[in-house]
Copies of this chain bind each other. A is one copy, B any other.
Amino acid sequence: MSKKEEVSLSVIRRLPRYYRFLGELLSYGMIRISSRELSEKMNITASQIRQDLNCFGGFGQQGYGYNIKELHEEISKILGLDNKIKTVLIGAGNLGKAVANHMDFSNRGFDLIGIFDKNDKIVGKKIKDIQVLHTDNIKDFCNDYKPKVAILCIPKIATEEISNILIASGVKGFWNFSHYDLLGINSDIVVENVHMSDSLMTLSYLVKDIDI
């Protein structure tokens, strides 16, 4: 973990996948696994696995493989999944509602404390026991409760204004489902984009020459 500064984002992006696979192995009652076995299951080379995990100090023992539970817990710590980072969700339309209902925030490092929408038909309703507030209240809410992360499920056109309010109110991290380029406006924040539309276009490319 001391090596964090040097760890590339591509390694980080593989950690959740390790975490998922190891969790699965645990649920099967497995105790140890070699990097070779893990490699076969995950379709990553064994040397890549060793290299990735060495970025954080190395966990395996030559000839004994990895203790699955230990490694699973270590990765959880590295990813910060035990944190309870106060988080707000902006936009409770179809997508926002799905994100709120579908994601297991509390086991992923987040505590969802507020949901906002500007549609009067949605404001006042409850999603996951949280009453949806009007977006006009974002600033006051942030002053009172100090969320540090915001999930943006709003159209691109609304994102600039809303994100400026959030950043001015102390929000530092964004899970961005909009197509607005948040990093263009501020380099002091961290942004994880989910560009579903880009993913769909990539699939379009991948399937277009299949025998159809």
Contact = CB atoms under 8 A, between A and B. Distances in A.
Interface of A: 4, 12-13, 15-17, 19-20, 43, 78-81, 83, 85, 94-95, 97-99, 101-105, 108-110, 148-149, 172-173, 175, 179, 181, 183-184, 190, 192, 194-212
A104 B197 contact: yes
Given A12-B205, A203-B190, A95 B102 contact: yes
Contact of A81 (B16, B201, B212): B201
A190 B209 CA distance: 11
17 contacts: A12-B206, A13-B202, A15-B205, A17-B198, A79-B205, A80-B205, A81-B204, A98-B98, A98-B99, A102-B196, A109-B203, A172-B211, A173-B206, A175-B199, A175-B200, A192-B202, A192-B203
Given A95-B98, A172-B207, 15 more contacts: A12-B202, A16-B195, A16-B202, A43-B181, A79-B205, A80-B207, A85-B212, A98-B99, A99-B196, A108-B201, A110-B200, A110-B204, A172-B212, A190-B210, A192-B206
Contacts of A200: 103, 105, 108-110, 175, 192
Contacts of A78: 205
Q: Is the interface of A mostly helix, strand, loop or mixed?
A: helix
Contacts of A4: 209
A172 B210 contact: yes
Contact of A20 (B13, B198, B211): B198
Contacts of A210: 148, 172-173, 190
Given A102-B94, A183-B43, A207 B15 contact: no
A184 to B, nearest CB: 7
A116 to B, nearest CB: 17
